[in-house]
Amino acid sequence: MATHKSALKRIRSSETKRLRNKYQHKTTRNAIRDLRAMTKKKDAEAKYIEITSMLDKLAKNNVIHNNKAANLKSKLAKFVAALK
């Protein structure tokens, strides 16, 4: 176990960050799942804008890789475009 004050603080702060990242990542995955279940184009377009923002924030904070965010946005854009 860490004994230095700075090491103890690092453990506390990394646990807090881990939980925040986990929550944001899971929330984004659930939003993507909900978007893929949609059948109305107008609703899906509004949801797509929100999800794009969520993915960009995850990539910016290194929760997911930049390319993964780009791939997900691309696939979702194709999905939304194909809706009627």
DSSP single-letter state for residue 64: S
Which residue from 38, 67, 26 is spatially nearest to 46, judged by alpha carbons?
Answer: 38
Which residues, in sequence order, are CB contacts of 2 under 8 Å at separation 6+? 8, 10, 11
Q: Cα-flanking dihedrals φ and ψ of residue 8, to 5°? A: -65, -40
What are 2-11's pLDDT values in tens digits?
889 999 999 9
Give pLDDT tens digits along the chain (84 positions): 888 999 999 999 999 999 999 999 999 999 999 999 999 999 999 999 999 999 999 999 999 999 999 999 999 999 999 998
pLDDT on residue 2:
87
How many angstroms separate the Cα of 49 from the Cα of each of 25, 35, 46, 73, 79?
17, 11, 5, 10, 13
